[in-house]
Homo-oligomer: A and B are copies of this chain.
Amino acid sequence: MTQPDTPSDLPTAPRRPTLALHDVVELTRQICDVESVSGNERELADLVEGVLRPLRHLDVTRDGDTVVARTRWGRERRVVLAGHLDTVPVAGNLPVRVVGEGGGRELWGRGTVDMKGGTAIFLALAAEVGATEGHEPDHDLTWVFYDHEEVASDLNGLGRVLRNSPDLLAGDFAVLGEPTSGSVEGGCKGTLRVDVVTHGVAAHSARAWTGHNAIHDAAEVLSRLAAYEPQDLVVDGLEYRECLNAVGITGGIAGNVVPDRCVVTVNYRFAPSRSVEDAVAHVREVFEGFEVTVTDAAPGARPGLDTGVARDFVRAILAATGAAEPTAKQGWTDVARFSALGVPAVNFGPGDPLLAHKDDEHVVAAEIELCHRALRVWLTGEDA
């Protein structure tokens, strides 16, 4: 079939590279080299829009730097495949270095893991799958390339589109291309952030007995955290390991003052069988006797692997990749946004999640190719 290329006559796109849509590894390298730290996704969003907008089988909508491309085949079910365009800040690790050759070839650099491999796969498949008449898959498809995933939740492009045009993201099953080392990771844990605050009475540190030290009072808060034994909870067959951690602590006014306030910022990652309310109640119980203020909360997502489309997806992917059974996603991901809409969602993409955000972020090229092939087989029933 014909590989669509970047149209050269778009008026607003000077000096765009010709994207290698026929080679997902090269495509990954190319879009990694278009720097797109959160807030700076425009150039990459323009490139993606430039690829997809001319294609007859897709209806393309742009919302800020999010590009949504949908088929309208009138199928009974719709699958959403979403990947974010942004990365955490570059750490001197761009442009991408290609290390090694053949099957062991690796891409090193920002975004190679989180998550331009997954995004490249989705972009290549969006352009290809269903482009030829008579070869449309069994499900309608919605491809989403979105901005601001790596920063504060209220900036998230997927969240913004859900608020602005929820119908654009409607579907029966969703796949997020976040790195999972090519396995299927179901659902995700919820996350809750609270400030545990102690109060004292300020005093000169040479006359400390006239005050009361709020930092000393935080000893008990930290002791409870250190002694806390998190639970492992099985939800719909997948095991979620909960975590309760101080992620920040601040206190102190000056080098000669007994401080009157200390704030321990605590992050609780909880199994998706708990609601946010349950999580808040649990944390309040752990820190009973202390002032607890909720600053941020997002529910988890149950894996939802018992629905028909999800079961088909898992079966197809495992067959194509030889990967093990699905496991639980421990980190919060945007699957929870779909879950909140009642859309079961999984994470599936190339790259070791433990390398995400690291200076030595890198991915094995063959893993990108394997994930691409597996998704292609699932969507089209054909091997390339």
Contact = CB atoms under 8 A, between A and B. Distances in A.
Interface of A: 189, 191, 193, 204-210, 213, 215-219, 222-223, 225-226, 230, 241, 243, 245-259, 262, 264-265, 267, 269, 296, 330-332, 354
Contacts of A253: 247
A207 B243 contact: yes
13 contacts: A191-B206, A205-B267, A206-B243, A206-B332, A207-B354, A208-B230, A209-B241, A215-B225, A215-B248, A219-B222, A219-B223, A247-B258, A255-B267
- Stoichiometry, copies per complex: 2
B256 A267 contact: yes
A222 B226 contact: no
B252 A248 contact: yes
Residue from A189, A207, A254 with most neighbouring chain B CB atoms (10 Å): A207
Contacts of A257: 247
B247 A249 contact: no
Given A215-B264, A267-B255, A207 B245 contact: no
A320 B52 CA distance: 94
Contact of A205 (B208, B219, B243, B256): B243
Contacts of A252: 246-250, 265
A249 B207 contact: no
